[in-house]
Amino acid sequence: MKVTNDKTVMKRVIKELDELDRYSLQIGLFSEDDSFIQMIAGVNEFGLTIRPKGKYLTIPTKEAGDRRARDIPGLFKPKGKNILATSGQDGKLTVMFYLKTEVNIPERSFLRSTFDEKNGKWYDFFDSWIDDIITGNLSASDVYNRLGSLIASDIQITIRNMYEPSNAPATIARKGTNNPLISDGTMRQKVTWKVMKS
């Protein structure tokens, strides 16, 4: 029996394994996609205390919707109350904004907390795909894209399932839900990955 040594297979395997070192993975929300959503993500990830430029911050109620204070005619501050309201014909006040001297947004880490919780799982998945590289079923780029997809999905699940620290009662009333990281789902959907090659 004659044994042949197929060096082309070995060269391909070595090349693909070397490629693993040439790639890196970036996970998150990228500013070129939406810098406002990236800012919101950063505020939630690390927390923030917001103070007004003037005397008060205006915190909208459900009744104010997406309008700003200057967009609502007849808006006034009732004496002794830290609200901006309108008055109906019956004299009943409708609160449009709460006036606050500061707002504390607590840390709601969804990136770092997911990395801390799932890092071992991701390493095991990455390790399990090495055999597929050796057999030629996957390239180094394929492995990084699969890993990126898995990590992004896990982060999206963390966003969906986070309820603590909860929203302030006024925020819950305005949003109609107590998921602090989801208003319309945009931030969750924007979590993605990039495979970078050096």
Domain that holds residue 90: 52-101
SS3 53: coil
Q: pLDDT tens digit string along 37-81? A: 889 999 999 999 999 999 999 999 989 988 999 999 999 999 999
Q: Are 45 and 110 in contact (CB under 8 A)?
A: yes
* Burial class of 97 by CB neighbour count within 10 A (0 to 12, 13 to 18, 19+): buried
Residue 85 lies in a domain: yes
Helices (H), the chain: 7-22, 35-46, 111-128, 130-134, 140-161, 169-175, 186-190
Residue 1 lies in a domain: no
pTM for the model = 0.80
Residues 43 and 87 in one domain: no
Q: pLDDT tens digit string along 136-190? A: 888 888 999 999 999 999 999 999 999 888 888 888 888 888 888 888 888 999 9
Residue 153 lies in a domain: yes
Q: Are 69 and 97 in contact (CB under 8 A)?
A: yes
Residues 64 and 147 in one domain: no
Residue 137 lies in a domain: yes
